[in-house]
Structure 1
Amino acid sequence: MRTAKPQFESLEKCLSDHLPPKELAEVKRILYGKDIPKLDINVETKRLAEEHDFEIQSYNFEANVEQLRAPRIVKIGLIQNQIVLPTTSPVKAQQDALYNRIATLIKAAASCGVNILCLQEAWTMPFAFCTRERLPWCEFAESAEEGPSIVFIQKLCVQYNMVIVSPILERDNNNGEVLWNTAVVISNTGHVLGKHRKNHIPRVGDFNESTYYMEGNTGHPVFQTHFGRIAINICYGRHHPQNWLMFGVNGAEVVFNPSATVGDLSEPLWGIEARNAAIANSYFTCAINRVGTEVFPQEFTSGDGQPAHRDFGHFYGSSYVTGPDGSRTPGLSRTRDGLLVAQLDLNLCRQMKDSWGFRLTQRLDLYAKSLTEATNGDHVPQII
């Protein structure tokens, strides 16, 4: 059985601890683009963070002032968190403990004035999908329209006038009780705007999730909220550029990427993929990863020759936001629960489209023709 090792807290803290200010500023410029100014955090939020032991960061993405358009300001929030109780605890107890924890973090987001908030992938439960056990994990599955976590989140949406993206394990009661990995979008009035089901299901090492659910059937929906147009690219979909592309084609201004991924598997890719998508598609991206190590009662194997184990490794947090100009915030901690708040001027999306001309120069007609040919069974690659 693997043993837990001490975890590196964050790249940003390491740089700040060891680089002189001048060199630190230059390194951050190269790593993160232009400097994103911090926003002040009010006393109430600081009190909640200290009392309930979570990190809080807040930043401001500014756009150029225009003569004919007023700024389109929206505050978004990302929450990363560990499970609260051991995976051996009763299902209801685990569920209630997570509700209590998330209620506190959402309260802190509300005190910062957040308009749209996104939780991490399958926030209502441990990330048990790679154990390949059906019980008790399937008991966490619920209706995307009236499940217990939906009712819980609806009340908070109304209370705080906040749109919340709530990723859950969905049980589709209308179609044979099939399970899906789903993100539910709940409006600031408490109504379920709709849902998106995970398009791409991993089959990599421990992360072989098709035991529980298959590829989603909801396409690439964009949700028109009171505060802006948002979309959700769930976890493994971030590895597929076409997935990001289609949310942009459909008009997204902010794309959330709620995830659950561990250091040994994907961390070198983490800071690149969502940032690259923001640049290529001229929208804001929000990468969200859970944090902590979740230990399960039964050993399981990966089918890759490695010894049996009871955990997937360390979920490394590091949630961040990127602007369409490529500038990005530092990441949250690799080891602590956290709330990241970012104030966005959505005018920056159009300004970057005009500046770089990616929409002007892309060739959707060419891609569509080539992709259609590639899906034919007799396709011959264009190799000369």
Structure 2
Amino acid sequence: MAEATFESVESVLEKHLPPEEYDKVRNVIYGRECGTLELNPDAVEHAKKHNFQLKGYRMSADAEELRPPRIVRVGLVQNQIVLPTTEPVAAQKEALGKRIESIVDAAALCGVNVICFQETWNMPFAFCTRERSPWAEFAESAEHGPTVQLCQQMARRHNMVIVSPILERDEGDLLWNAAVVVSNSGAVLGKTRKNHIPRVGDFNESTYYMESRLGHPVFQTQFGRIAVNICYGRHHPLNWLVYAANGADVVFNPSATVAGLSEPLWHVEARNAAVANSYFTCAINRVGTEMFPNEFTSGDKKPAHKDLGHFYGSSYVSAPDGSRTPVSLLLVSSAPTCSPLCPCRASRGQRTASWWPNWTSTSAVR
């Protein structure tokens, strides 16, 4: 398990390399450097008051003579649960709802146009336990449930598109790992579901839900064409490819993944997808360690335990040219990652054309 005191690869390099060497090494590893975005002082103060952090970055492009830039600010939220998993379901959902509202308020002050939360953001990631109760009670309607209603209110209030990954219960009483897309006018544009379900170690998700039957939808919003590739789908290159074939400008990857096998891959997969498919990618992970009331095992010869592992955060955005925002692994007090990015039109990168859109990115870490 990664040490909680290890903030990021960048911080270690910066600490131990002379400035000139650090800049060269960083550019070789991560591509051209992203500029820092100046954040609204009111947003910074709001974040401080509510105990989370904001970070902002800019991805820009050369100005064109005939076409004005289209700036899009994208917010990524990496967060940890608020109450212990032993608290009543209603109390846990209410606390997370209030938490996310305060984060969205800060994102609005930063001018964010599209915000995406982490996988099943309004509950603990309890699928490792294989228990029905109480975790199935967190499931709700993607179209009419209390969580989508909250998101509709926030979207209308802030003129913001919201991507809300939840545990869905459909009209046939089946559960799905889903993401609801709410327009900046508060209308539900649609939903997508997790295409690939892990059956590895403690990721016992197929106990609760199965693979999506909805394909690879792309949603037209006022700020561009967006898609949502939920968590485990990032391991499958053809999954990313179909979103490109369907016209996505930006693909979000809301996740819940822990140290171990996935961490070395985490910094590569979404970035590689951006390069291979000529769109922007936004990788989002939760933070913290979630302890459950009962011990569980997963038939992998490991002793019984009460946690899935440590969620290491490290949310970031990648551009089609391979450049990437810095990451923040985890903060003990977790923080939202509100990333304003600006893709004007779908950037096809300097590899394939002589232009690509401007991006700016702000990040919040809870």
Q: Same fold (TM over 0.5)?
A: yes
Q: Deviations over 1:325-368 (max 9, x none)?
A: 110000133232232323313346134463399xxxxxxxxxxx
Q: Does 1:247 align with 2:243?
A: yes
Matched, 1:213 2:216: no
Question: d(CA) in 2 for partners of 1:333 and 1:51?
Answer: 22
Within 2, Cα distance between the matches of 1:241 and 1:280? Answer: 9
Over the residues paired in the alignment, what is the CA RMSD in angstroms? 1.7
List runs of 5+ in structure 1 lacking aligned partners. Answer: 358-384
Question: Partner residue of 1:382?
Answer: none
1:148 aligns with 2:109: no
Q: Which amino acid aligns with 1:136?
A: P
Select the residue among 129, 132, 135 that pairs with 1:134.
Answer: 132
Report the counterpart of residue 81 of structure 1 in structure 2: 79
**Corresponding residue for residue 66 of structure 2:** 68
Query: 2: distance between equivalents of 1:146 and 1:130?
Result: 27
Q: Is the 8 A contact 1:76 1:115 kept in 2?
A: yes
Provide the rounded CA distance (Å) in 1 between the counterparts of 2:258 and 2:338: 20
Number of residue pairs matched by the alignment: 353
Alignment of 1:222-371 (within 5 A): 222-335=218-331, 336-347=334-345, 349-352=347-350, 354-355=352-353
SS in structure 2 of the partner of residue 262 of structure 1: coil
Deviates more, 1:76-85 or 1:25-34: 25-34
SS at match of 1:114: coil
What's the CA shift for 1:254?
0.2
C-alpha distance after superposition, 1:144-194 (max 9, x if no partner):
001010011110000000000000000002xx2100000000000000000
Structure 1 length-normalised TM? 0.89
**Greater Rg by CA:** 1
Q: As a proportion of its length, which structure holds more helix? A: 1
| Offset, 1:5 | 6.3
C-alpha contact 2:7 2:328 (8 A) present in aligned 1: no
1:320, 1:340 within 8 Å by CA — same for their partners in 2? no
Q: Percent identity?
A: 61
Structure 2-normalised TM-score? 0.93
Q: Give the 3 Å change call, closer, same or farther, for CA 177–348 of structure 1 in structure 2.
A: closer
CA-CA distance at 1:52 after TM superposition: 1.9
Pairing partner for 2:191 from 177, 195, 208: 195
Paired AA for residue 205 in structure 1: G
Higher RCO (CA < 8 A, seq sep 6+): 2
- Superimposed CA distance per residue, residues 255-297 of structure 1 (whole angstroms, 9 cap, x where no aligned partner): 0000000012310000000000000000000000000000000
Say if 1:287 and 1:321, in contact at 8 Å, map to a contact too. Answer: yes
Using the TM superposition, give the Cα deviation of residue 7 of structure 1 relative to its aligned residue in structure 2, in angstroms. 4.0
1:22 aligns to 2:20 (yes or no): yes
Partners of 2:10 and 2:346 in 1: CA distance: 26
Match of 2:105 in 1: 107
Distance 1:130 1:292 in 2: 15
